[in-house]
Amino acid sequence: MKKILSLLQLAALLAILLLLYGPLAKIGLLPPLPSLFHSGPPQIEDTPVIVQQVKNIAQMFTQTFYDEIVYDTGVMRTPLFQANKRLIFIAKGEVIAGFDLSELSEKSVIRRERSIVVKLPPARVLDVVINPSGFETFIEEGEITFEETKKFHEDARRIFERNARQKGILRNSAAQGRAMFEKFFRLLGFETVDIIIPASR
């Protein structure tokens, strides 16, 4: 009986120590308990990078839109006896707009002595970039699968593109394209440069 009581006392003291550690770790005065069992940041294994395809392209990037958003999935209700889920993450990345110059043909350039007319394709969004290093998980509650996270990340990319269009990325891209080509052809000695760019959709 005496022995059991001593053991119980020891266990209780241990529990008190752990419970004292918890709040101090939560407010950042001590490192989180799980980190004491880890040797450092996880390291990936060295695997090769395989080239699947190499393509010649002719894309002129004329505008970039840097964006940063906080994405909140809200509380996702789950079946009874399962914890509700919620994910809040920060996404940082950019949207690139410009011209696909591979669409230029012989008819796109008309030269008459020191005058030139160039018909460019419409400016369009060429890439939306949010790389893994651009995602930062802020709050994660419940068990969220990789496929679910992927869908939220894809949605964040759509938000980036929408924000960029609302900010006028295509209009600015066309204006910058016009200015850049004008400058280039004037450097080539043309006195009259006319750049025609159809309106973007």
Partner 1 sequence: MNSVPRRRSRRLLVLAVAIAVLLAVNVAVPRKKAPPYVGVRVLKDLAELATVEYNVTKIVSHQDVAWYGDRKILFETAATVKAGIDMNEIHERDILLQGEAAVTVTLPRPRILLFNMKPEHMKEIFNESGILRSDFNNQEKDALLSQGEKDIRAKVAAMDILERAARQARVLTESWLKKSGFETVHVVFRGEGGQK
Spatial CB neighbours of 41, under 8 Å, sequence gap ≥ 6: none
Please, which residue, 43 or 80, has the CB nearer to partner 1?
43
Task: Give the C-alpha distances (Å, rounded to integers) separating 93 from 88, 131, 157.
Answer: 17, 7, 9
Q: How far apart are CA 9 and CA 155, in angstroms?
A: 54
How many C-beta atoms surround the C-beta of residue 85 within 10 A?
18
| Near partner 1 by CB under 8 A: residue from 31, 36, 103, 136 | 136
x/- string (CB under 8 A) for partner 1, residues 85-124?
A: --xxxx-x---x-x--x--x-x-xx-x----x--------
> Cβ 14 to partner 1, closest distance in Å?
10
What are the tokens at 149? 């996270």
Please, which residue, 84 or 138, has the CB nearer to partner 1?
138
Please, which residue, 62 or 197, has the CB nearer to partner 1?
62
What does the chain come to in residues?
Answer: 201
- Please tell me whether residue 97 adopts helix, strand or coil conformation: strand
| Near partner 1 by CB under 8 A: residue from 30, 122, 124, 144 | 144
> Cβ 199 to partner 1, closest distance in Å?
18
| Near partner 1 by CB under 8 A: residue from 81, 187, 199, 201 | 187
98, 64 contact by CB (below 8 A): no
How many C-beta atoms surround the C-beta of residue 124 within 10 A?
16
Handedness of CA 102, 106, 110, 113 (dihedral sign): positive
Does position 8 interact with partner 1 (CB under 8 A)? The reply is yes
Residues within window 43-62 making contact with partner 1, judged by CB under 8 A: 43-62
| Closest by Cα among 121, 20, 18 to 62 | 121
| Near partner 1 by CB under 8 A: residue from 79, 80, 83, 146 | 146
Please, which residue, 37 or 81, has the CB nearer to partner 1?
37
Residues within window 14-33 making contact with partner 1, judged by CB under 8 A: 15-16, 19-20, 22-23, 26-28
x/- string (CB under 8 A) for partner 1, residues 159-178?
A: ----xx--xxx--x---x--
